[in-house]
Amino acid sequence: MAGKRIFIVEDEAILLCDLEDIVAELGFELAGSASSQDEAMDLLSAAPQIDVALLDLNLNGRTSYPIADRLIAAGVPVLFITGYGRRSLEGRFSECHVLQKPYDEARIADALGRLLGTHG
């Protein structure tokens, strides 16, 4: 996973910082991070190179679906993080990977490894 660029969207500041620390420990480079749907869409407009995205599903009452649509259209794999589980995803995202909250570094490493095809 070293050198891969990751984009993170999480609306809870403490969790966002935690995720940034975890992915840095795993060897990722941060392509960008956002705490809202609008902020994420603005950052994506700058067209950073992104290898994988980690998206909280619920962003202060809005979903991360528009962000996921844009990333998927660009060929970027998406990992949804949610406390609601896979059943909370809209059908068009049924093939996306999901990580249920609460999580830890090992579960994130495993999920990202599976998503990127580096193990499992």
Of 46, 43, 114, residue with least CA distance to 79: 114
pTM above 0.85, yes or no: yes
Q: Please determine, for residue 118, whether its predicted confidence score (pLDDT) is greater than 70.
A: no
User: How much is the pLDDT for 117?
Assistant: 83
Q: CA-based angle 8:39:71, to the nearest 5?
A: 55
Q: What is the mean pLDDT of residues 4-20?
A: 95
Lowest mean pLDDT among 9-13, 92-96, 110-114: 92-96
Mean pLDDT over the full length of the chain: 91
Q: What is the pLDDT of residues 62-102, one digit of tens each?
A: 999 999 999 999 999 999 998 887 777 888 888 888 998 88
Cis peptide before 48 (omega within 30 of 0): no
Q: What is the mean pLDDT of residues 54-60?
A: 95
**CATH architecture, domain 5-116:** 3-Layer(aba) Sandwich (3.40)
Q: Please determine, for residue 2, whether its predicted confidence score (pLDDT) is greater than 70.
A: yes
Map out the domains of the chain as residue ranges.
5-116
Q: How far apart are CA 82 and CA 103, in angstroms?
A: 10
